[in-house]
Amino acid sequence: MNKKSPKINYKYGHKSGARLLAKKCNLNIPFGKSCSTIEMVLKYLKILKDTDIKKVIIKYDESYGGIGHLVIEDLNKNNGRKVKTFLNAVKQNLGGGWTIEQWVPSKKTIGSHIEININKEICLSYLWQQIIDKDNVSYNGAIPLEISEIHFNQLINHMKIIADFIIKQGGQGSFGPDFMLGKNGQIYFNELNARIPSTAFPLQITKQIKGYIPKGFLATSIKTEKGIKFKDLRFRLEKNNLLYPSRDNDGLIPYHVGQLEWGNFYFVIISDSQKKSQFYYKKTIKLFKNNKATR
């Protein structure tokens, strides 16, 4: 939840708000609809059954990092029980509000960061590529963005349009619009995070320490033992030549270390080589016990 721009967050900082924003800014989004009740969702799924659309995603309005999504592989199969169980569970635990969208095969999912100061000056801060889990939905980290100049310029244009729109609404502060590059070559707007995107922090840490964002930049988190102390973590990383600065003047910097109490180990790998950063990542996974990815 964004605390700096509550009005923007309230209106546009969720899945159905993103559809509204896309409409107002004339941004490309997957075909779909926002539904406020379970009945509306079921009714809309029935309507979609009579179209060419086969695969859809149901997104809970307030979902974060891909949690609270349901992918329906084939609308023609009987998904009734699965859908109702999902919708009821979301409603009971989180509240209502969903968006149903046609599944668009993704080539890259892209995060970005915009800053708007009190003088209404816009800073397009960063663009990066999100690491998505095997489920094709859940967010697992970030790496440098590798796209064509054409797509890059399109993204910059989208970011400017969104920033101008936010200013017109009286908003300021940090915002993180998410995009997707579809396999069809089109850029889609996904959602507006009305807060500092979490990847902005490892990016800035890296920029500060290294002076630039190296090609082997990798920000992610893994699940480790709960309550591990930073000094123990540091000792193990140093012993294995993983902690930045390692002997090769690259390595891993832990951040967000308060989360260690809950067993969430956040780190950014700084290296000029993607191959080397993968090596560091795999070695870190091996070194820490519960290596299930976290968000």
Q: Which is nearer to other proteins, 99 or 174 (CB)?
A: 174
Q: What type of residue is 58?
A: I
Q: Of 33-41, 68-76, 78-86, 206-214, which part binds other proteins (CB under 8 A)?
A: 206-214
Q: Of 24-32, 84-92, 165-173, 287-295, which part binds other proteins (CB under 8 A)?
A: 165-173
∠ Cα 158 161 164 (to 5°): 150
Residues 6+ apart with CB under 8 A from 37: 96
Q: Which is nearer to other proteins, 103 or 255 (CB)?
A: 255
- DSSP conformational letter for 261: G
Per the CB < 8 A criterion, the answer to whether 139 and 66 are in contact is yes
Q: Which is nearer to other proteins, 59 or 113 (CB)?
A: 113
Q: Kindly report the three-state secondary structure assignment for every residue of 49-110.
A: HCCCCCCEEEEEEEEECCEEEEEECCCCCCCHHHHHHHHHHHHHHCCCCEEEEECCCEEEEE
DSSP β-bridge partners for residue 142: 130, 219
d(CA 26, CA 5): 22
CB of 59: closest distance to other proteins in angstroms?
A: 24
Q: Of 6-14, 58-66, 181-189, 285-293, which part binds other proteins (CB under 8 A)?
A: 6-14
Q: Of 35-43, 86-94, 209-217, 281-289, which part binds other proteins (CB under 8 A)?
A: 209-217
CB of 188: closest distance to other proteins in angstroms?
A: 19
Decide: is 20 part of the binding site for other proteins (CB under 8 A).
Answer: no
CB of 265: closest distance to other proteins in angstroms?
A: 12
Decide: is 255 part of the binding site for other proteins (CB under 8 A).
Answer: yes
Q: Of the candidates 256, 272, 273, 283, which one interacts with other proteins according to CB under 8 A?
A: 256
Within a 10 A sphere around the Cβ of 24, how many other Cβ atoms? 14
Residues 6+ apart with CB under 8 A from 8: 2, 166, 169, 171, 175, 192, 194
| Chain positions contacting other proteins, by CB under 8 A | 3-8, 113, 115-118, 121, 123-127, 144-149, 152, 170-174, 196, 200-201, 203-205, 207-209, 212-213, 215, 229-231, 234, 244-245, 253, 255-259, 261, 266
